[in-house]
Amino acid sequence: MNKPTAAGELFTELVLEVFRVNGLALEAGDQLSEPVGLSSARWQVLGVVDHEPAPVANVARIMGLTRQSVQQTADALERDGFVEYLPNPHHRRAKLIALTPRGREALRKVEARHAAWANALGTEVDLKNLRAAVSGLRQVRERLEAHASASAHDARTGGPHDG
Residue 131 contacts residue 59 (beta carbons within 8 Å): no
pLDDT above 70: residue 163: no
Handedness of CA 98, 103, 108, 112 (dihedral sign): negative
SS3 162: coil
Query: What domains are there in the chain, each with its CATH number?
Result: 36-151 (1.10.10.10)
Q: Mind listing the pLDDT tens digit for each residue in 138-160?
A: 999 999 989 988 877 777 777 76
Q: Mind listing the pLDDT tens digit for each residue in 76-112?
A: 999 999 999 999 988 878 899 999 999 999 999 999 9
Model-level pTM? Answer: 0.83
Dist CA 43 CA 64 (whole Å):
15
Average pLDDT over residues 122-129: 95
